[in-house]
Amino acid sequence: MNIEQITDKLVEISERLQHRAAINLLASIEDARKRNTFHVAVLGEFNRGKSSLINAILGRTLLPADVLPMTACLHVLEYGREETCTIVWKNRPAQTIPLTQEALKSVGADGEVDVTQIQFVVIRLNHPLLQNGLTLLDTPGVNDVEASRVEMTYQVLPHCDAAIFLLDAAAPLTKSEADFLQNKVLHYQIESLLFVLSKADRLDEEELEEAMEGASERIHQLLNQEAHLVPFSANRVWQERANQVESAEVNRLFERIQILREQARQSFGKRQVSNLQLVCQMLNEQLAFEQTVQQLNHTKLVEYEKALYSRRVELESAFTLLLASMDKVGRETLEQMFRASCTRLKEKLVEDISYQLQIMEGDLEKYWNKNLPLQIERAIKQFAEEKAVEIKSYLDRFCQHVSSEYHRQFRIELLLTLGSDSLQMPQWASASKGRGQHTVHQVMEQVLPVTIGMVAGNLILPGIGTIVGGALASVITTVVRGNQKEQMREALMEQVPDLVHGVITHYQREVEKTIEQWFVQMIATLESYHREQEEQLLATVQQHKDAASAPVPAFEQRELDNYRQMIEECEQTLKRGVQHV
């Protein structure tokens, strides 16, 4: 069997099983084989500057951009000798519209056109950068409130060879972005990725460097590979254009796109095979589902459902207890640890400062106003950095502990309720539920700071220097100036304990707020994970029930066996290495 024959076989089975996702993926595999264009999707959450980036690199203000969600359907930008703009509708003939920003606004989020009826909009431009087959896909933001727009972006992924992923320079790689990357982009073997920190003009050099470092680290952790990350500012590119300066940013981006193209070309065969394997996996899951439906009758399923409902109620109080203990034991222990360390820090600081005051020969007031604030600030920073290691390790262990407790008490319990022949949940059903395939540990980790550096960042309060300075200044004004040196020394010494106490307590409270936030988020995350799990299990039973109550079984056993065998053959061939045509 060659790759074409495998594809044909899988198309036949997918159509018979009416598996939409598999049909779509297979169509994209065939399409990728035939076309000689290179599809780059520009992806990211809404308002990241996707449309602005495309406008800037092409030097055309065509795509509408706004702070509110703007792009409402897929825009395909490709080469055309004659420039045109066409709406490809779902259920009616394509329609040409003027190639202007005004006209494109009509298919935007607040335009007058019903975009749910649009498949995509094709914009053909006579642009040298598109001449060699580069096709850019502008997509709606993936966190848009409008689910249908998000769905549109998901559906286009199988048709892409590479992606440019836009991150906000001010908050690179949020949790939902990480989810999207892992569950969607990588799922379809789009490994040629370029990350862009957009709106780079909004940060100064130092902030940008920090943001780049942070984002690279997070991407690296997530993907387990070197991150290709570049900063970009559409605004700057336009300024350069106005001054007729060649834009280094645009050039760099295009160099990167060339590299992506080469990467994608090299991995083309491998990607096709992986995508076909993905289809096999989807179809196998569907077959397993159909099989269980055949074997279990409706009455049995109703029993399962009842058992699941009542077990769920029984487990509820145990779950509430687990949540409460996370707060009570987990958070309080950490806070106690931290408080004890703060007390030691206070004692040490009081001791150090008093000693220095005692032996100080020079100008006491200068020491108090100039050197001391720096000394306290530095001590707090160093303390925070040391504590970060301990707290990070505590959070990791705590996460691990809750995760294993959860699995032991609930996950396994709920699954056992479904009996030994536990029901098969097809991937398409669980994937659409989001976090189904992740473990509790992975899910909870996403709300915690990833690195020790990030923990330290959370423990060092911005503006702590000002707080320290303020506290010291108020002391010096109450100590009578013009006093004899020895009297002043004594008066200041007296103030030291209160002063240190005040500053550190303030610091400690702020940190405790951060700790509290971490726990609130962890608890909320576990709770929503648990509800999703319950819902998923109930939905699984419901799906089987629905299918089992159909008057005629959808498939004959013989037919299912036949498909299974065909898929098995395809899988074997793909594994052995397949001939490409």
Ligand X SMILES: Nc1nc2c(ncn2[C@@H]2O[C@H](COP(=O)(O)OP(=O)(O)OP(=O)(O)O)[C@@H](O)[C@H]2O)c(=O)[nH]1
Q: Which residues contact 287 (CB under 8 A, 6 or more apart)?
A: 17, 560, 563, 564, 567
141 binds ligand X (CB under 6 A): yes
Among 7, 51, 233, 417, binds Mg ion (CB under 5 A): 51
403 binds ligand X (CB under 6 A): no
Of the ranges 50-58, 318-326, 397-405, 419-427, which one interacts with ligand X (CB under 6 A)?
50-58
Of 10, 44, 40, 5, the closest CA to residue 25 belongs to 10
Among 39, 50, 387, 544, binds ligand X (CB under 6 A): 50
Minimum Å gap between C-beta 447 and ligand X is: 24
Minimum Å gap between C-beta 196 and ligand X is: 10
231 binds ligand X (CB under 6 A): no
Of the ranges 64-72, 216-224, 265-273, 380-388, which one interacts with ligand X (CB under 6 A)?
64-72
Binding mask 457-486 for Mg ion (x = CB under 5 A): ------------------------------
Residue matched to tokens 């052995």: 576
Minimum Å gap between C-beta 172 and ligand X is: 15
Of 15, 104, 116, the closest CA to residue 60 belongs to 104
Whichever of 71 and 533 has its CB closer to ligand X, that residue is: 71
Q: What is the DSSP string of 172-203?
A: -S-HHHHHHIIIIIGGGT---EEEEEE-GGGS
Minimum Å gap between C-beta 248 and Mg ion is: 24
Region of 136 please: left (phi>0), alpha (psi -120 to 50) or beta. beta
Of the ranges 66-74, 243-251, 466-474, 478-486, which one interacts with ligand X (CB under 6 A)?
66-74
Q: Which residues contact 66 (CB under 8 A, 6 or more apart)?
A: 108
Minimum Å gap between C-beta 101 and ligand X is: 12
Among 32, 43, 49, 529, binds ligand X (CB under 6 A): 49
Minimum Å gap between C-beta 133 and Mg ion is: 23
Q: Are 99 and 123 in contact (CB under 8 A)?
A: yes
Of the ranges 69-77, 88-96, 121-129, 345-353, which one interacts with ligand X (CB under 6 A)?
69-77
Dist CA 181 CA 496 (whole Å): 52
247 binds ligand X (CB under 6 A): no
Residue matched to tokens 């005692």: 358
Binding mask 27-46 for ligand X (x = CB under 6 A): -----------------x-x
Among 19, 48, 124, 218, binds ligand X (CB under 6 A): 48
What, of ligand X, Mg ion, none, does residue 533 touch, CB below 5 to 8 Å by kind? none
Q: Which residues of 309-348 are buried (b: 16+ CB within 10 A; e: fewer)?
A: eebbeebeeebeebbeebeeebbeebbeebeebbeebbee
Whichever of 28 and 71 has its CB closer to Mg ion, that residue is: 71
Task: List alpha helices for 326-371, DSSP H.
Answer: 332-359, 364-366
User: Which of positions 148-207 make contact with ligand X (CB under 6 A)?
Assistant: 198-199, 201-202
71 binds Mg ion (CB under 5 A): yes
AA identity, residue 429: A
Angstrom CA distances, 517 to 26, 121, 324, 405, 510, stand at 45, 44, 15, 22, 11
Length of the chain: 581
Dist CA 441 CA 451 (whole Å): 16
Q: Return residues touching ligand X (CB under 6 A).
A: 44, 46-52, 65-67, 69-71, 140-141, 198-199, 201-202, 233-235
